[in-house]
Each structure stands twice: as C-alpha cells, then as structure tokens.
Structure 1
Amino acid sequence: MTDTETAADSGIRARIVEAATRLLREQGVRGVTTRAVSQAAGVQAPTIYRQFGDKDGLIDAVAEHVMATYVAAKSETAATENGDPIADLRAAWQAHIDFGLANPGLYALLNNPDRAGHSPATEAGIEVLRARVRRVAAAGLLRVDEARAVAMIHAAGSGTVLALLGTTPADRDPGLSDALFDAVTAGILATAPATTDPGPTAVAVTFSTVLADLPALTDAERALMAEWLTRSLTHLRHSTTR
C-alpha cells in the first residue's frame, strides 16, 4: 500500500469514527447501526467491516477515540494557576462527572468491565488521576498510600456518575458530586502536611514521592528502600482495617 493509499485509508477510518461518535451521542448505542454509520460517513457497509471487523470493533474504536480526546484535554489542564493540588484533584473529579453526564452511552461503553481492563485510553485516564494524586502526596497531604487513594477516587467517581445517570435530570441532586468528593477526600487527605503533623502513613507516602530524586543512592538502594516503604504502607493499611 502506497503512502497516498494509507493516508486515504486513515481518512476514511477517521470519518467513520466521527460519524459513529456523533450517532452514539445523539441516539445512544442502538443508533450505531452499520447502515446508519455508512450513510452518515458516506461509505459502503463493506468498508466498515474492512476497517473494523464488526460493529463491536467500531464501537471500541469510537470509545477509544472519545476517551483519548478527553484524556488529552485533561492532560493539557493538569494544574491550576495557583498550583493547589487539592483544587487540581477536585477539578479532575468534576471533569470526570461532567464527561459521564454529557456522554452517557460512551461512558457505559468505557466502563464496561469486559473492555475497561484492556483499554489503553481508559488506563491513560487513570494515569492522569495517578499524577494528580502524586501531587497531593508530594505536598504531604495524603494519609493513605497512593494506590489506595487512586482506587477510592476512581471507584467513587464512577459510582457518582452511574448514580446520577440513573436519575432523571430534573430529580438529580446538584450537590451530590461535591458531597461525595468531600466524603472521599475526608478519608484520604491529611488535615495538615506531614512535615507539620507527622503520622507514619503520611510520612511514608510523602517520602516515597521523592525517593527517585534522592542523591548518592544506587539503583539497588532505591529499589530496596522502595520495597521497605511499600511493605510498611501495606502493614499500616492492614492494621487500620482490623
């Protein structure tokens, strides 16, 4: 295949994905039929099968496209002007809620357990959340380990979207999102930086964020120290649940 043919093929694929995305947003999953997409994209039905294999392949491509666009937009606004890591985390939470409510069909696809575990775009979205949580940890404001914080925020955010989508717009509680964010962060954030109000978990979490930058340590020493920190955090996590 020549470069010209490859470019043309990519253009057709992009046009099909854009048409299917538009139909999905306007009509939901049921509106994304091969006939409807081919008409909207101005291609023959066999072209869709050649490009994507089947309808499921097309739906996956649409979901990946929209999620990738969303993740890119979140990454571009990775920090607030005042550099407040908690404000950044809240902004990321609200962006997630807004996206889910604006794209219910796509959100359901992106959070389908059958595809979420192997979706590069979904993982990229979680990676953005990890970066926000890392900033909170580096500021000494996290009192659980980073993995636990990411898991709690991700689970709560997804649950919030599903709860709101399960309610008619007129009956939705406008304060539910903020209330749940506050409830989750109350369980994971320290009341003061670890440097002023030290606790073993907060100190260990904060120290782990700077471990890679410590001078005069070999890679083996850093790896050993990271293992000690991970072991300590695991022990602290288990001891608080007994």
Structure 2
Amino acid sequence: MHRPDHLQAAKRSAQSDIARALRRAEFVLQYQPQVSLEDDSLCGMEALIRWQHPVRGLLPPAEFLPLLEQSPLSLDVGWWVLSEAVRQMGEWQAKGLTRVKMSVNLFPLQLRSPGFIEAVADLLTHHGVEPRFLELEITETAALTDGDESLRVINGLRDIGVGIAFDDFGTGYASLGTLQHYPITTLKIDRGFVRDLLTRQRDAAITRALIMLSRDIGVTTIAEGIETIEQELTLKMMGCDCGQGYLFGRSMPASDIAGLLARQPVPAAVARAG
C-alpha cells in the first residue's frame, strides 16, 4: 500500500519529467478529423497532444495529462499546445489549403490566467489566422468553477471571434439550462452516451435532448467516440451535426491532415480502415 508522502513524491517526479519534456521539445500534436454527418465533408479537427517519450515511446494524453489538471505547469503545456495548433493552422492556410475549424482543449487554470484573452488575440494575429477558425474546448466543470470569472473570459473570447465548445457535457453537474447562459458555439456529446446509444434508452434520450436544445439555441453538436455505422446513422437521424471517432479516423500527424485538406471535401471514410 502506497503512503501519501510516497504518492506525492511520485507525482512531483512525474511533473518534473513533464517540465523537462517541454524544454526538450518532446511533445507533438496529432489531429483527429471531425466529419459532417450530413454530407461527409471535413468540418473540423481536434488538436491532441502526444508525448514522444525517449524510453517509453509515443504516449497518449491519458498517460500524463491528469497529473497537470490543477498544476501551474498546465499553463505552460496548455500554451504550447495552443501556440503549436495556431502556428500549424497558419502554415496550412498560407499554403492555400482548405480552411476548417481547429479545436484545442484548455486546462482549467488557463481560463483564470491573467491576460489570456489578449494573448490569444495576439497569437492569432501573429500567425495570420482568423479567430473564427479557432475553437477552444472547456469542460463543464471548468466553466462552472469560479463561474462569474469563467463566464467573463468566455465572453471575452467570443468578443474577439473565437469559438467555445463545451466538452464532455452531461457527465458532470451542469443542467441543460446551463447551456443557455454561456455563449458557446459547439456542444460535444460525451463518448459515454454514444457508446451505449443503441442499448440504453436513457443515454439515447439524453443525447436526443442535447441535440434538440443545441439546435434550438443555434449551437453545433459534435458526437465523440463514434465507432460504428449504426451509431453514425442514429446520430444523423437525431439531427447531430458532426461526428468524431475511430469510424472516421484516428488522430494523425499534421502531414496526413494536410493531405485531407488538399482534397476537401473529404469522404466520411477518412480512414475507416484505420
């Protein structure tokens, strides 16, 4: 059985490794396609961090991001992700590739970071990217924590033209009414609801309600974790706008995404075999 002091020491050691990885440029971004359920075109992508560990190989975010959630180090890692994603968008757009929205996840501390709105605006200007092509993803928990300040920052980001997505909505304590108080542009339906969509009536009912309310208030819906054609067709019949998941393609390097952008519109089988 691990003693608390040993656990804290292990956590500090892991965070030190992450800080070192940031200095050594061991982090990379991959991008997962988001596909329109209406016409199979590419409607966006999500930037996802990976750690090219010198010993353990390519690590997914679940292996290290939980250690950062409330750590000051999350500000540095989060800013690197955002900066690299916007830089990459600017590079693609400068090459004349089709422009689609890029989603980037925020850590909770980033929402409360002084000057964050201005820093995002400067970053977009520096790389020549229009704000409407950037969408920042926040969890409902992050939005509801320190609600007034979070709402101020979200409003400020919307004022400069940046989109806001609620990620994992429905898995926490927020109610459907919460959606009406935040100026979000996208609602992401959690993969847990999608996984049991065809077998649990409750999950299907919640998913349908989220889609209907989002449509009524002018918010785009993206369903995460779509793995089967049956899930895709059910969500399409419910009126969901876009989908993301292994059915359409796993996360991929920037070079592969550039190929998709070059031949937009992209069929839904972005990489169905992948």
Q: What TM-score do you get using the length of structure 2 for normalisation?
A: 0.29
Higher relative contact order (CA 8 A, sep 6+): 2
- Higher-strand-fraction structure: 2
